[in-house]
Amino acid sequence: MTVFCYLKHNQEKYMIKPTKQSQMLYSTLLVAMVVMAMLAAMLWAIASNENGDYAAELAHSSVVFYVKFPCAVALHLVLYPEVAKGMSIMKFANNQHD
């Protein structure tokens, strides 16, 4: 959405025609609706405890917890560069807006 707003603000600079703007808006709204629908479905599954899959406990055993913890840390370390790239793109778009 940030990039869309940036392009909307700089439409003369990049020569973006109204038809392309409407396509980008439609795509942005469609993606946002799909993400919201997915989050709503996940929330419903957790709230209704589908098939008993979502227990209130942390893990079935301490061994599972000790395996999950380093995996979660490793996942965050692996994903950090991707998130940092996205953050730099968003910061660039916000700085260009000023």
Burial 85-97 (b: 16+ CB within 10 A, else e): eeeeeeeebeeee
Q: How far apart (Å, rounded) are the C-alpha atoms in residues 64 and 57?
A: 12
Residue 77 and residue 97 in one domain:
yes
Residue 49 and residue 67 in one domain:
no
Question: In this predicted model, which residue has the larger pLDDT, 41 or 21?
Answer: 41
Residue 43 and residue 88 in one domain:
no
The pLDDT assigned to 38 comes to 94
Q: How far apart (Å, rounded) are the C-alpha atoms in residues 41 and 34?
A: 11
Between 18-48 and 2-9, two packed helices, what is the crossing angle to 10 degrees? Answer: 160
The pLDDT assigned to 43 comes to 86
Residue 43 and residue 77 in one domain:
no
Q: Which domain holds residue 4?
A: 1-56
pLDDT 10s digits, 35-92: 999 999 988 887 887 777 766 666 667 787 788 888 888 988 888 888 888 878 777 6
